[in-house]
Copies of this chain bind each other. A is one copy, B any other.
């Protein structure tokens, strides 16, 4: 207890040499004799010396910390992303500082201040649903901190970006539904101002147009939770001209639809097809198992972290990359077989 942490000076004293020699020996500086290096390293090990990163960072005017802003933590897609980030970061010798914005702009503001205060080397951020002012992100850049957006990107700020191919994912999914004979496909989406809503909606619309199916505004809803879907779906099924398929913005919503459809006595997929968007274990727990668009959050995280670390290391100064992570349609039991 109360044992002061051992410093380079403690080692120096014990060995009757100077602190700078110890410092150099520890880093295998060519000027230092093999013998001294040996002695210093042995002594350091014996004394359980662990370098003080704070001092080092202050001296070097840099950090090995990456700040990550995530809207939600308990969330398959985002936690996959964090896992990808953590993996790359730890491989490259960086530590990850995690912040949750709770989908709140206010919280985001506080977080960016903490991030600058902590003098992190770089930031990986996904916008909260509320955010439509971006000054705080500009301030990050103004403070010489590298920045990469992932998933919910910010168009107003010039940085690297990593996004999921929402458009293609939606297009492929809806085309698949059409190929299995579905003709009236409902679309449950998140609030329409979000990029993911827009992009997936465009994919949905283009799929319909491409296959000469009519676009019916009455089949497009804002509904993106399980609870909302359980409430809305019976009403939709009771329409005069009800849909024969549902395309949902996420798997939670899709499970709500599935539940409601089965409640009404309709069969899935014979009467009604359902396709979600997310991936993960939730889709496997359903009965039948849910057809869904896998988003590869892990890849998003890894890619974003790599781009950021390249920036930090100065490898890609002045370049701004847009990386798009491909989605994959996982065909399972809530859709019919393609002919």
What residues on B are CB-neighbors of A79 within 8 Å? 73-75, 79
Interface residues of A (CB under 8 A from B): 1-5, 48, 50-55, 57-58, 63, 65, 73-76, 79-80, 82-83, 86-87, 90, 95-100, 110, 113-114, 116-119, 139, 141-144, 226, 252, 255, 258-259, 262, 280-282, 284-287
Contact in complex: A281, B262 (CB < 8 Å): no
Contact in complex: B73, A63 (CB < 8 Å): no
4 interchain residue pairs of minimum CB distance? A287-B287, A285-B285, A73-B83, A255-B285
With A5-B144, A73-B79, A226-B281: A97-B99 Cβ-Cβ less than 8 Å = no
Contact in complex: A118, B98 (CB < 8 Å): no
What residues on B are CB-neighbors of A3 within 8 Å? 142-144
Q: Give the shortest distance, in Å, between A64 (CB) and chain B (any CB).
A: 8
What residues on B are CB-neighbors of A52 within 8 Å? 58, 117, 119
Partner of A281, one of B48, B90, B98, B282: B282
What residues on B are CB-neighbors of A281 within 8 Å? 226, 252, 255, 282
Partner of A255, one of B65, B80, B226, B284: B284
Contact in complex: B54, A2 (CB < 8 Å): no
Q: Give the shortest distance, in Å, between A135 (CB) and chain B (any CB).
A: 11
What residues on B are CB-neighbors of A114 within 8 Å? 95
Closest residue of B by beta carbon distance from A115? B95
Partner of A74, one of B80, B95, B141, B285: B80
A191 to B52 Cα, complex, angstroms:
39
Partner of A5, one of B74, B119, B252: B119
What residues on B are CB-neighbors of A141 within 8 Å? 1
Contact in complex: B113, A99 (CB < 8 Å): no
Contact in complex: A86, B99 (CB < 8 Å): yes
Partner of A73, one of B53, B86, B262: B86
Closest residue of B by beta carbon distance from A139? B48
With A50-B117, A143-B50, A287-B287: A97-B95 Cβ-Cβ less than 8 Å = yes
With A98-B96, A114-B95: A286-B286 Cβ-Cβ less than 8 Å = yes
Q: Give the shortest distance, in Å, between A49 (CB) and chain B (any CB).
A: 10
What residues on B are CB-neighbors of A258 within 8 Å? 287
Partner of A65, one of B48, B55, B97, B262: B97
What residues on B are CB-neighbors of A117 within 8 Å? 50-53
Query: Can you list 24 residue pairs at the A/B interface with Cβ under 8 Å?
Result: A4-B144, A48-B142, A50-B117, A50-B143, A52-B117, A54-B57, A58-B58, A73-B86, A74-B79, A74-B83, A74-B280, A79-B79, A95-B97, A95-B114, A96-B97, A96-B98, A97-B98, A226-B281, A252-B281, A259-B287, A281-B282, A282-B282, A286-B286, A286-B287
